[in-house]
Amino acid sequence: MHLFAQDLVNGILAGGILAVVALGFSLVWGIMNIINLAHGAFLMLGAYLTYQLFASFHVDPFLSLPISFVVLFALGYLIQTYLINWVARAPILTTFLLTFGLSLLMVNIALIVWTGDQRGVTTAYSGANFTIADVTVPWTKLFTLLAALAITGIMQLWLTRSKTGRAIRATSMDIGAAQLSGVRVAHIYAIVYGLGAGLAGVAGTLISLSYAVNPGMGDPFLIKAFVVCVLGGLGSVEGALIGGLVYGIVEAFATQLDFTIGTQHISGSGLQDAIALVVLLIVLIVRPTGIMGKATA
Amino acid sequence: MMTTAVLRRIGLGGITGSPIAIAVALALMVVLLAVPLGHNGYLEIVFRNILMYAAMAYGWNLIGGYTGYVSFGQVAFFGAGAYCSAVLSAHGIDNLFADVALACVVNALFAVVVGLPVLRLKGHYFAIATLGIGLALSDIVANLDALGASSGLAVHHVDEAHFYVYYYAMWLVALATILGTYFIARSKLGFAFVAIRENEEAAAVLGIDATRYKITAWAISAMMAGAAGAVFAPANGFLDPSIAFSIDSNVFPIVMAILGGVGTVAGPFIGALILAGANELLQRYFIKIHTLFFGAMIVIVVLILPRGLVWLFGLKGGARTWLKSLTAFKA
């Protein structure tokens, strides 16, 4: 019973991070219909930025959250303006490959700058944790979850209340009508892609607190971001949050699977991608609009 | 759907691509027959890899280019084909024909079983589900003791003096995929594939059983990738999940097909020749940054040659049409 509670808590804590990872991915996909394969690379850059600030200037990782956001937002804005906007309305294959190429570029630049060594952001409070009813909770992961909730809340408010937020939502509903109302679509696209990159950077900062930092660290999060979006419902802020938490819990339990058939030993921890695929297919067949989703094209 | 109308308006369209390009591709294939005569083991491997990527690019071209279902999971079929050879070899059967035959049968069945749920998905959902299939299969094989788990299996057929056998086997596989694509594209089957790509609902109204044809395209493409994998495994001599399901084998063929020309007969081969050749040179002289170059190459190809080289052969209106095609999808 206490193992069950521990898995559940671990799942919720991991799910908070997944929600932030998926949030930016979901916005870019929902509003521009672009699957951003460079999302994992932005996340990795955010993590390295945090690492470098911490290692060189002793900046606390939580303080570098806004720095990650601003730097990655600027990078994303420039990439969308000068590269992706040229093919923004092309068939999916084009943007798929373009973002894949960008991802390769960024990962390999990181490999040259920081080499392939594993880096870690180890603060004074890194190992600290507390225990309630036999369930251990690390402080960093709890603060990460709280930060994730706060970021999701801020995004939701900004998208519904601000003028730019409304322009973004208008663009996703009807490009033609938005243009007629004076929305500059190319500019809005650049802002959305910047937001996606910025949120990935923030997620990278949060992830660097609990996971090792290396150039390939973004890849496992990419396919999970996709599954979380499908699970929660595409393009909605609360969908990413719910999807992230649900997927975090499912994964926490699935990776605990451990049994033997004949001489073949099967352990869930080695099958993370297979688990993601199974969840994805089940959701797509049973509830294609996601948990929070309305019917979309 | 609408995209093809846009492209046709600016002078791009057709079912096999330029006949001149096909003639060039076949002539180059004949030239490639001479490679093992030079007795240069290194060059033989380089060109065998080019032929292997070409066969995989044709496999992708059939489902992604002709049928319009952008698959990111062809590496699953390549790996499955490779493991067919490994399993036969482990049971003492060392015969390339048996390897390729088994790989084709296994992959056709695998494609039908996986295709039934996955081919119901469209666009991004299909792309990511297929990406997941490759990753999941790699995970599963890495956990199966019978297939050597993550430490891999040795696959051995002939001694080094007879390595040219693998080269010619791969050449035959590549030729079969080129000719197969040509005849399929010009047959009723090919027209059904293209009809599904252009507008699946309209195709269904015309009496095309979309599900059946999609699964057919998917199964043939799986056999093409699987045959390449079946020859690759013994030629490589060793197989583990990271080799059989590598990201290179997944993405190279797609980029090759696009560089050459999606939905054309000559495109994938021309793309494979150029990209695999360039990659080999970069790897040889700039080992540290060759993946960086590759990423940059993808970005440039997508932006300046979105329809591939083969379409430049048949372009009406020259440079002006080409410039127009660059901004056709601007935001």
Nearest CA-CA partner of B302 in A270, A174, A86: A86
Residue A204 lies in a domain: yes
Nearest CA-CA partner of A162 in A196, A191, A203: A191
Angle at B298 between CA A28 and CA A39, to 5 degrees: 25
Chain A residues lying within 8 Å of B262, measured CB to CB: 93
Residue B159 lies in a domain: yes
Determine the pLDDT at residue A1.
61
Q: How far apart are the first and last CA of chain B?
A: 18
Q: How far apart are the first and last CA of chain A?
A: 43
- The pTM of this model reads 0.84
The pLDDT-based confidence of A4 (bands split at 50, 70, 90) is confident
φ, ψ (nearest 5 deg) of residue B237: 85, -15
Determine the pLDDT at residue B215.
94
Please list the residues that pair with B153 across neighbouring strands: B239
Residue B211 lies in a domain: yes
A210's tokens: 């609990």
d(CA B86, CA A126): 47
DSSP classification of residue B62: I
Q: Could you tell me if B74 and B250 are in contact, meaning their C-beta atoms sit under 8 angstroms apart?
A: yes
CA A24 vs. chain centroid, Å, equals 6
Owning domain of residue A144: 2-218
The residue type of A284 is L
The listed range with the strongest mean pLDDT (B131-135, B157-161, B268-272) is B268-272
Residue B331 lies in a domain: no
Determine the pLDDT at residue B328.
76
Determine the pLDDT at residue A179.
87
d(CA B181, CA A260): 45
Q: Contact B132/A89, CB-based, under 8 Å?
A: no
Q: Contact B331/A276, CB-based, under 8 Å?
A: no
Q: Contact B329/A87, CB-based, under 8 Å?
A: yes
Owning domain of residue B89: 2-326
d(CA B4, CA B101): 37
Q: Contact B128/A87, CB-based, under 8 Å?
A: no
Q: Which residue has the tokens 């798929």?
A: A96
Residue A283 lies in a domain: no
The residue type of B83 is Y
Tell me the per-residue pLDDT of B56-85, one tens digit each, with 9 for 90 and over.
999 999 998 889 898 988 999 999 999 999
Q: How many CB pairs under 8 A join A and B?
A: 138
ipTM of the complex: 0.81
* DSSP codes joined into one string, B68-90: ----S-HHHHHHHHHHHHHHHHH
B198's tokens: 């252009």
% of chain B beyond a pLDDT of 70: 93
Check CB contact of B282 with chain A, cutoff 8 Å. no
Chain B residues lying within 8 Å of A100, measured CB to CB: 251, 298
Distance from CA of B159 to the nearest CA of A (A): 34
Average pLDDT over residues A42-60: 93
Determine the pLDDT at residue B9.
46
d(CA A23, CA A208): 18
For residue B70, the chain A residue with the least C-alpha distance is: A93
B190's tokens: 């090919």
Q: Contact A189/B331, CB-based, under 8 Å?
A: yes
Chain B residues lying within 8 Å of A281, measured CB to CB: 117-118, 129, 132
Determine the pLDDT at residue B302.
85
Residue A255 lies in a domain: no
Q: Contact A226/B128, CB-based, under 8 Å?
A: yes
d(CA B110, CA B59): 15
Q: Contact A101/B133, CB-based, under 8 Å?
A: no
Residue B238 lies in a domain: yes
| Between A14 and B162, residue with greater pLDDT | A14
- The yes-or-no verdict on residue A296 having pLDDT over 70 is no
- The yes-or-no verdict on residue B316 having pLDDT over 70 is no
Tell me the per-residue pLDDT of A116-130, one tens digit each, with 9 for 90 and over.
888 888 887 777 788
Residue B153 lies in a domain: yes
% of chain A beyond a pLDDT of 70: 95
Pairing of strands B238-239, A129-132: unpaired
Q: Contact B295/A87, CB-based, under 8 Å?
A: no
% of chain A beyond a pLDDT of 90: 30
Tell me the per-residue pLDDT of B263-274, one tens digit each, with 9 for 90 and over.
888 889 999 999
- The yes-or-no verdict on residue A234 having pLDDT over 80 is no
Average pLDDT over residues A98-104: 91
Tell me the per-residue pLDDT of B211-265, one tens digit each, with 9 for 90 and over.
899 999 999 999 999 999 999 998 888 888 888 888 778 888 988 888 888 888 8
Domain count for chain B, please give it.
1
Q: Which residue has the tokens 């980029």?
A: B255
Distance from CA of A295 to the nearest CA of B (A): 15
Determine the pLDDT at residue A209.
87
Chain B residues lying within 8 Å of A112, measured CB to CB: 288-289, 292
Residue B222 lies in a domain: yes
Q: Could you tell me if B185 and B15 are in contact, meaning their C-beta atoms sit under 8 angstroms apart?
A: yes
User: CA distances (Å), A92 to each of A55, A106, B158, in order?
Assistant: 40, 21, 44
Domain count for chain A, please give it.
1
Number of CB atoms found within 10 A of residue B26's CB = 16
Determine which of B1, B114, B128, B283 to mutate to test the interface with A (most A C-beta atoms within 10 Å): B128
Chain B residues lying within 8 Å of A89, measured CB to CB: 329-331
- The yes-or-no verdict on residue A292 having pLDDT over 70 is no
Distance from CA of A265 to the nearest CA of B (A): 8
Q: Give rounded-to-5 percent helix, strand, coil for chain B.
A: 75, 0, 20
d(CA B61, CA B55): 10
The residue type of A43 is L
* DSSP codes joined into one string, B41-53: HHHHHHHHHHHHH
Residue A272 lies in a domain: no
Q: Could you tell me if B272 and B173 are in contact, meaning their C-beta atoms sit under 8 angstroms apart?
A: no
Residue A244 lies in a domain: no
Helix (H, G, I), strand (E, B) or coil at B29: helix
Which of these ranges, A248-252, A284-288, B195-199, B289-293, has the smallest mean pLDDT?
A284-288
CATH number for the domain harbouring residue B115:
1.10.3470
- The yes-or-no verdict on residue B24 having pLDDT over 50 is yes
Give the CA dihedral B5, B6, B7, B10, nearest 10 degrees: 120
Check CB contact of B304 with chain A, cutoff 8 Å. no
Determine the pLDDT at residue B11.
42
Q: Could you tell me if A16 and A142 are in contact, meaning their C-beta atoms sit under 8 angstroms apart?
A: no
Average pLDDT over residues B314-328: 73
Residue A254 lies in a domain: no
d(CA B58, CA B60): 5
Check CB contact of B125 with chain A, cutoff 8 Å. yes
Determine the pLDDT at residue A76.
96
The pLDDT-based confidence of B10 (bands split at 50, 70, 90) is very low
Tell me the per-residue pLDDT of A166-215, one tens digit each, with 9 for 90 and over.
998 888 888 888 888 888 889 999 999 999 999 999 999 999 988 889 99
For residue B129, the chain A residue with the least C-alpha distance is: A277
Check CB contact of B50 with chain A, cutoff 8 Å. no
Angle at B109 between CA B105 and CA B110, to 5 degrees: 115
Tell me the per-residue pLDDT of B26-63, one tens digit each, with 9 for 90 and over.
889 888 888 888 878 888 889 999 999 999 999 999 99
The pLDDT-based confidence of A33 (bands split at 50, 70, 90) is confident
The residue type of B287 is I
Residues 6+ apart with CB under 8 A from A122: none
Determine the pLDDT at residue B2.
41
Q: Contact A280/B254, CB-based, under 8 Å?
A: no
